[in-house]
Chain A
Amino acid sequence: MWCPGCGNGIVLGALLRAFEELGYENGDTVVVTGIGCWGKADDYLATCALHVTHGRALAFATGIKVYKPELNVVVLMGDGDGVTIGGNHFIHAARRNIDLTAVIVNNFNYGMTGGQVSATTGADRYTSTTPYGNPEREFDICALAGAAGANYAARETVFDGWQLQQRMKEGLTRKGFALVEAVSPCPTHFGRYNQIDGPDLLRRLREVAGDGLVCGLLIDRNAPDFNARYREVQAWAQKRNDRN
């Protein structure tokens, strides 16, 4: 299970409640998880699940979704998994606008391996591998998804589980690539290094996360998704083949 104070349980609860409200069946739902603390979520799920290599979850999910478009395919990744080692797959999944819902728990560091710096760690922040402050800048995951072509991106914190649940329902029902970023504390590592603790946890998290912590619906489009576009390709190919 997860550490005391970790937000993963809240995100998982919000996701399962969203499934329940949307009437998803276990057999029609495939949750693909990457590697990391959040990537272990599949062990707590009664749906179909595929637990894969670090950073590659979106690519596995793409294979499932193109072959069985009728399935609900949801991808759970940490910030390291989703946009650091997996950054290339992330931008291409968004560009392809493949009909997946990605739920990224952003705890600003690599939780599982001991609190190392990630691509979402802010400048000057402390982690186990930036003991003098982070010389690099962070990715804004939602902006990245939007720039790459995603149909939907929203950010909420784990301090509002109900709101997260609403965002997940929106993401799950949106055709095309949808991203829900859940900002979460990692008290064991990032919180400890950056004094994010105590009763004003949320205020401190906001301070430390800096400009990246604008919450709400951030990208909202309805461009055709990959499977819809590929059906057009199949129709063209079929017509050409019939003519020959």
Chain B
Amino acid sequence: MRRVRQLQREPRLIQGNLAMAEGALYAGYPITLSSEIASECARILPQSGGVYLQMEDEIASLAAVVGASLAGAKAFTATSGPGFSLMQENLGMAVMGEVPCVVIDVQRSGPATGLATKPAQSDIMQVRWGRHGDQAVIALSPSSAGECFCLMVQAFNLAERFRVPVVFAAEEIVAHMRENFVSPAPGEIEVVDRKAPQGPPGRCEPFARDAGAVAPVPAFGSGFVFHVSTSMHGPDGFSNNDPAVAAWKVERLHRKLDLHRDEIVMTREFYTDDAEVLFIAFGAVTRAARAAALEARKNGVKAGLLQLITIWPFPDREIAALAEKARTVVVPEMNYAGQAALEVRRILGPEKDIRRVNKYNGRIIAPRDVLAALDFPAK
């Protein structure tokens, strides 16, 4: 399965979870909030020569995904809450080995088993920092079923382009939502494949020093001979404990994302031209914030919305640019600590009027919750 599947052009009802399942090789372990992805993959992948693998746990699932990716597959897994916690170690392995893959985390209310069927956005910091060691990943957050489809293609593209795991941080609301969706025609969305080394097969350095910090990598079985390692390694993938090599490797893992930051960071603006009040939201909460902005405008408050499609790397420049014009910034999110608001505070400094809206009871944030952060009288 190397191409986006041929899909009907008629609008059809598509569930967020099912939109994420089209077009890849899958290994996973069932868990409520992402189970539809597993059953859809089990149904459609073997039809086109792909493989659905149900592994013994989430640790093994991501391991199999990394193995399959190194053999050349576009591979992904999907999970929720407890399963995402189990995946952290091998997510670190994927970062270290620079292995393209996509991990869907349908966020649910925690901690631990928590409210197993209810949404949350409380994994934002775990997505970024959940693993030990100096590392970085890319994370995207969809706000609709249609976005699930298109952003999944983007997620694979970014993973392939930058040889990095991409976390697809959805939440129960978007995952179980059904919406009309017209599939893009084949070729309409660009599909990126990782760069392979040129020339006749032979021994190759999969971590070769490269100005863009992303080296070409072959697939196992392509004739090229190469090593990939979880341990600290030099350009050839063999163990290397030299301090200079260790520093080079850690810098490279960060630099490849820093250098290409503008290709990675995606945001969307609604009514921001004259916005004095700026809502910053991601995932399903984007929808409530957008409705709230329209409602605020009816009440004479010039409100706008910045949707964070990429949540890691955090869209700092976009936030700073829009917030400069706004007197008040509101960050609604479905967690207790204000995980995204903390980042917004870091970017805008201690003086800025930043208001948090947090819900952590398994209920969705409604437009009125967002409006409650403003001083105008609610109707």
Contacts and interface: CB of A to CB of B under 8 A. Distances in A.
Given A56-B63, A59-B59, A238-B46, A48 B68 contact: no
B202 to A, nearest CB: 9
Interface stretch (B70-78, B247-255, B295-303): B70-78
A49 B228 contact: yes
How many A residues are at the interface, by size bracket?
35 or more
Contacts of A71: 71, 220-221
Given A67-B25, A89-B56, A240 B47 contact: yes
Interface in A54-93: 56, 59-68, 70-71, 88-89, 92
A125 B47 CA distance: 53
Contacts of B57: 88
B150 interface: no
A60 B56 contact: no
Contacts of B67: 32, 50, 59-65, 67
Given A66-B68, A70-B221, A233-B46, A48 B226 contact: yes
- Interface SS, B side: mixed
A234 B231 CA distance: 37
Contacts of A234: 46-47, 49
A221 interface: no
B225 A47 contact: yes
- Interface SS, A side: helix
Interface stretch (A8-16, A22-30, A162-170): A22-30
Interface residues of B, number: 48
Most buried by A among B43, B89, B231: B231
A53 interface: yes
Interface in B41-72: 43, 46-47, 49, 51, 53, 55-57, 59-61, 63-72
16 contacts: A30-B221, A32-B67, A42-B229, A45-B227, A51-B228, A51-B230, A52-B66, A63-B65, A63-B71, A63-B75, A64-B67, A64-B71, A234-B47, A237-B46, A237-B47, A238-B47
The 7 closest A-B pairs by CB, nearest first: A63-B67, A63-B64, A59-B63, A59-B60, A237-B46, A63-B68, A51-B229
Contacts of A61: 67
A51 B220 contact: no
Nearest to A30: B220
Interface string A203-233: 0000000000000000000000000001001
Contacts of A56: 59-60, 63, 90
B139 interface: no
Contacts of A113: none
Interface in B194-243: 201, 219-231, 237-239
A46 interface: yes
A21 interface: no
A237 B52 CA distance: 12
A43 interface: yes
A7 B360 CA distance: 56
B27 interface: yes
A16 to B, nearest CB: 15
Contact of A43 (B51, B61, B71, B239): B239
B63 A52 contact: yes
Nearest to B90: A53
A56 B88 CA distance: 13
B362 to A, nearest CB: 31
Nearest to B60: A59
A17 interface: no
Given A50-B97, A52-B63, A59-B67, 19 more contacts: A27-B221, A27-B222, A27-B223, A48-B227, A49-B227, A49-B237, A50-B220, A51-B227, A53-B93, A59-B63, A64-B68, A64-B71, A66-B68, A67-B71, A68-B221, A70-B221, A92-B56, A230-B46, A237-B47
